[in-house]
Amino acid sequence: MIDPVLFLAFVPVALALNLTPGADMMFCFAQGMKGGPRPAIAASAGISTGSMIHVLLAGLGLGALIAAFPWVFGAIRWIGAAYLAWLAWKTLRTPLALASAPPARPARAFRDGLIVNLSNPKVILFILALLPQFIDPARPVLPQFLACGAVIATGGFVVNALVGTFSGGLGRRLLRNPRAERGLRLTTAGLFAALAARVGWEAARA
């Protein structure tokens, strides 16, 4: 049910995205800095759970739309390209900032991480912008969404948990270094811009 070529192409993209700073990573960073590794790992698990819920909802909705209106897939690609380009611009213009979060027990950190992810509409918009580029519309859509979502959720859990666990040392110095912070923003913006160009190119050829 999954095109192995598209799936293998998706894995490095997902890993690169997991490694770029965002609201979820900053939340885990703050949890680890204030409460230690346990709440950071729990928060990361909650965020990954929220990501899979977003993926499930997006996969169910998109699969039904494509079955009823095949042209929707092309439209989503163009919308996705525009959204990724906007993310590139916003990332380039917005300095990274540490999210504030009070120390929490692991259970509360998990719940808060889940809420942080589910309450962010940008997550499902990003999923709808990115995942369809690695989906074969001729195959069942939901299993492909879930497989790609599992890669994002697993990679995000590992990366965010590690960031939170080591937030008291290297991570804090890195994010407080202006040159390092600017380099992270440039790298992230460049990745989003490259994805937007690729999506637009493929949509134009379709």
Q: What is the pLDDT of residues 74-129, one digit of tens each?
A: 777 787 778 778 878 877 887 655 444 456 688 988 988 888 787 666 677 778 77
DSSP state of 119: T
More confident residue, 146 or 132: 146
Task: Indicate whether 145 belongs to any domain.
Answer: yes
Alpha carbons 40 and 136: distance in angstroms, whole number: 36
Predicted TM-score (pTM) of this structure: 0.69
Alpha carbons 102 and 114: distance in angstroms, whole number: 16
pLDDT at 141 over 50: yes
Task: Indicate whether 10 belongs to any domain.
Answer: yes
* Least reliable range by pLDDT among 54-68, 81-95, 168-182: 168-182
**What residue numbers bound the domain in which 26 lies?**
4-95+105-201
Residue 57 vs residues 29, 44, 124, 176: alpha-carbon distances, Å: 27, 20, 9, 37
The answer to whether the CB of 48 falls within 8 A of the CB of 154 is yes
pLDDT score recorded for residue 36: 81
Alpha carbons 80 and 130: distance in angstroms, whole number: 7
Instruction: Give the chain's mean pLDDT.
Output: 80
The answer to whether the CB of 122 falls within 8 A of the CB of 29 is no
Average pLDDT over residues 21-50: 85
Name every residue whose Cβ is closer than 8 Å to that of residue 165 and which is 6 or more positions away in sequence. Answer: 32, 37, 40, 41
pLDDT score recorded for residue 101: 44
Task: Indicate whether 206 belongs to any domain.
Answer: no
Name the maximum alpha-carbon separation found in the chain.
52
More confident residue, 205 or 122: 205
- Report how many domains make up the chain: 1
pLDDT score recorded for residue 99: 46
Task: Indicate whether 100 belongs to any domain.
Answer: no
Name every residue whose Cβ is closer than 8 Å to that of residue 170 and which is 6 or more positions away in sequence. Answer: none
Residue 135 vs residues 10, 95, 131, 142, 190: alpha-carbon distances, Å: 10, 33, 7, 10, 23
What are the tokens at 159? 């990366």
Highest mean pLDDT among 120-124, 133-137, 175-179: 133-137
What are the tokens at 38? 């346990």
* Least reliable range by pLDDT among 27-31, 139-143, 171-175: 171-175
pLDDT at 174 over 70: no
Average pLDDT over residues 160-175: 73
Average pLDDT over residues 127-139: 83
The answer to whether the CB of 47 falls within 8 A of the CB of 117 is yes
% of the chain with per-residue pLDDT over 70: 83
pLDDT at 147 over 50: yes
In the chain, the N- to C-terminal Cα span, in Å, equals: 22
